[in-house]
Each structure stands twice: as C-alpha cells, then as structure tokens.
Structure 1
Amino acid sequence: MRHHFVAGGLAAMLLALSAGTQAVPLDTGSSEIRNFIDEASERHGLDPAMVESLLEEARHKQDIIDAISRPAEAMPWRRYRPIFLGEDRIREGAAWWVEHEALISRAAEEYGVDEAIIVAIIGVETRYGMHRGRHRVLDALVTLAFGYPPRADFFRRELEQFMLLVDEEAIDPLEVRGSYAGAMGIPQFISSSYRHYAVDGDGDGRRDLVGNVADAVASVGNYFKAHRWRQGEAVVFPAEVAEPARADALANQGRQPYTTVGELRAAGIEPMGDVADDAAATLMALEGEAGTEYWIGLHNFYVITRYNHSPLYALAVYQLAQAIREEKQ
C-alpha cells in the first residue's frame, strides 16, 4: 500500500508554508537525498513523489544543530537538577495532578505505573504541556538526518517513522512542532515511540499526543509498562561510601544495571534504604552542590532511562516525582 500523507492533502499544506523562512532548503537532487527517497519508499511503501515533495518543504536549521551539540544532559548534576526541581514546577505538578487525577489514576492502574512518575515525566518534558517545542518536527528530523553525521542513521530512521506517522494519525507534517530532536506532544514522544507506544486514552478513536491529555497520560503509562516497570519496587537510593576512590572506579559504567547491591556493599558502598543484595544495580557518582553524590540505581531507574538515556534525567524525574507527591499530600 502506498502512503500519500493524507493529513489535509499535501498540496494544501505546501501552500500554507511560510515563504519567509530564513533556513536552507535541501538539495533533493543530490545522490544522498535521492538514495534516501528510494530506500524509504521501497522499505515502507511510501509514494516517492510525495516523499520528495515533503523533503522539498523541509529546511535545514543551524539552531537545531547548535542545540543538539549542547544538550542539558551534558551539564553536571549540580546545574542540571535546579532546571527541573524548582518550587514552581513542583507546585504546578501537584496542581496538574489534582486537575487530571481521574486520568492519571486510571492510567496508573491499567498500566501498573506509579502516578507520580507519570506526572513527573510530563513535568520534565514539557512542564505539564506548557512547552511542547518550537521547531517544526520535519525541519528538526531533516536537519539532523542530513546535517548531523554523529547520529544521521538514527534520525533518518526517525524521519521515515515520521512520514508513516503523519499518514496514520492524520497529522499535518508541515505544522506539527516539537523539540530540536523531533520529539512532539505533551509527553515528547519521538516518531517511532509515537507509532509503537501511543494509545487512545479516552476512546475517541485517535492517538493525539499533541492536544489530548488523556492520550498523553495513558501513552506514558503504556510506554513504562512496555519497558517493564515494576510497580511497588524502589527506583534509586543515595549511597554512603567508605572509600571514594574505590567507588569512583566502579561508578558510571553504563545506564543498564551492571552489578548487584551485594557487590557494591562488599566494596564499602551502602545504599541508604532497604534493598536486597541480589538486586541488579548501577552506581553513579555525580557532581553535586556539596561535592560528589553517590546513587545506586535499580531496575526501575533503568526503565526511566529508556525514556531518556541520561541518568541525570532519570534522577531528576524521580526526585520531581517525590517532591510533587509530597506537595500534593
């Protein structure tokens, strides 16, 4: 089956594009772009003429390259944490939770996910839907697919997924906006995640993550269920360290659990909480306000990093969830 980008008709969309943009169009006649058009069309049953027409409306934007080259996750923890743990964001999170409590409670029960984690994910991603991104998703994906070699393969795959998504969900590909990395909507799903994990949370027959809170909340729940969140289990513990040099040698070896709590205890690293020796774990040494902080991440911590690979992100989500829960009570 050929996909024709049915979201209102491509011809009408092209007329709506502003002619005053100062970004740079693609050279769709280049061998690189021609190969992409041919391969994407063949792989997914896309109409080659429509793929080319859509790419002709995309613009390479240097500010997107600049943004991905200096991500917040590259900051030390002492600078990263205050971005997401401010008093305003905590209060807003508690209020947003109360406002949408029925939706959040239903999603948490259906998907077996902590309510506070759902709220905190959306709080970190878009400040509860208030900041959903200013870049056209098409421009972001095209810019990174053909202008950012370190991750070009990934973003070319996401560009293909976006082309499928806009057809399936009747999304206007020239209007939808998101982050510099092409994430979109209230929960900031990338195109492949949108296609695979988004759900219809209110039974209206659509999966609308851009404007529908019920769909966004349920989709976050479904994402965590799919990545094997274990409801009721701990997420992360601060740790006391007997020998910092030894702990530093064991720390920051990857986001996926690579040791056990028992092995960390044997090295003089004690979690400040009740957790079994055989629990899979990862150790983090982070630059905090008062010096190095040590944290032991467990299975559920790893699950949060499936949403965003940064351990700083996962720790911010966890701490925001705890703070919002306390504020709400």
Structure 2
Amino acid sequence: MLHLNVNDEISTLKAVVLGTAESCGPVPKPEDAYDPKSLEHILAGTYPKEADMVKEMEAFSQVLKKHGVQVFRPEVLKDCNQIFSRDIAFVIENKLIKANILPDREKEFDAILHVLDRIADEDIIMCPEEVHVEGGDVMPWNDYIFIGTYTAPDYPNQITARTNQEAVDFISQKFPHKTIKSFELRKSTNPRENALHLDCCFQPLGKGKAILHKNGFLVEEEYQWLVDYFGKDNIFEITADEMYEMFSNVFSISPEVVVSEQHFTRLNSWMRKQGFIVEEVPYAEIAKQEGLLRCSTLPLVRE
C-alpha cells in the first residue's frame, strides 16, 4: 500500500506519478488546442514531436530515480496526451483528490488505476461536478493551501480558466484546519500574458526562497502578500518572457535539490548561488504545450 503524504512542495520526494509522452497522438487541430501556447506552436508548425518529448521525460525520470524516488508511469493510451499528470489529481496530506478536468481528459485518470489500487479507498476524494480544479493551481504549503483561481463572470468562456470558486470552497471544507489562500490569475489568449495555473507564475522552493511573476496575478495585494510572506530578498522575480518559457515550473525533489530546464541560465545560476543542487534536464519541447516539470508530476509521498 502507498501511504500518501504531501504537506508542501519541497520535502524529500519518495513516490511520484510521472506522465508519459508515448503515443501522444497527432498534432492537434488549432480548434482543439487547450491553451494559447500550444495553439501558437500548432500554427507555426513547431509543435513538439513525440520522440523528442519521450526523450525529455526519460531524462527527468532518470534524475528522479537517481535520487531514490519510486517513479510510477500511467498506462499508455493510444493517441492520448498524458504528459501532464499534475492536471488529473493531486495529493494534500494523506488524501488524493481527483481533479475535475476538461471532459476529454477523463480517461487519463483511468490510466493510473494501477497506482490508485495501492491507495486506500477512503483516501481518494472525488469532487462534485460543479467543482473545477487542476493540480497546477493547488499547492500545499505547511499550514496553508495556496490555490490559483479565476472568479470573473466570464469564467465559462475562458478555456484557460481551470479552477473555480467552488473548488476553493470545496478544498476549504475538506481541510478545515488549513488556511486557504486563493489568488486570482490573469487569463489571456496571449501566451505571454496567460497564467494557465498558479505554478505558471509562482513556485515556492526550499531555503525560504520562491519564484514569482507579478503580472500573472490580477490583484496586486495578493501578489504583495506572497512577497511579504517570503521576503523580497528571497524571491526570484521572472520576466514575461521567462514566464512564457515556464521558468516557475521547476520541481523540487527535496529542500536542496531542484530539477530545472537546462536553458534557464539566469534562474539556474541564481539557485546555485542560493546553495541549491540544480539538476538540469532538456524540457524545451514539452514547454511548448504550456507545461513543464511540475506539471508532469503527481507527487504521492514526500517525507
């Protein structure tokens, strides 16, 4: 049995579901794109090739295993993009919450049944239909749960709006002892302005540090709360271009070890100066789908 345990973003990782790029299907039609960055690459003819993405994920998998992590992979579904396992479920404390995601992606959850079978039934929470939530918007952080959301009236028309107020309320009810801190995110069809998920514009790291992008937040006071919480000197503020490249979507294996994209030169050198061990992997092709390292992982057990 797996004894789920996730209380933050950085404690030493013991078990994780890493997505798969195998059999991810043909290049989507423009009208089938879920996010503006994928659309941009579909139209430009630069959409990533399966073989390249499989290689990138294999490099990530090797780093995880090198650090002693038990790595589960989804069952491969034919012609189905299963890279971003963070979207389909997430763990808070000892509960796995199944995300209510875009309906076309329901079968991705079924592809991890071999993992779910190792988890006690009472530790799996299904969200009611009106609760829309994806794991990229949810970050357990000790006594807090940080949640990215979008509550404007045009929510139903925003394909990039993934987590609603009902989700914030639902998670508050399920974890009454936690302080829920929600953040309104900027949604846009311009990929250089769109914060698809909270982890596209914010990421806490070990050593009291964090990565942040101001323009990803709609409400300045909410952004400022994070600056005050971590302290200005502990924050690496990323530019619009760096947000577009997914700089904040790195992944902590432990408080000291961070997996990052090999081209994130400015960030990686900053993290090393702060005393982190930075494991660099190639992930630029996967980044074209507006997701990166954190998006590809579903942590199950941290120490």
So what's the TM-score if we normalise by structure 1? 0.26
The structure with the largest helix share of the pair is: 1
The structure with the largest strand share of the pair is: 2
Larger RCO, structure (CA 8 Å, separation 6 or more): 2
So what's the TM-score if we normalise by structure 2? 0.28
Larger Cα-atom Rg: 1
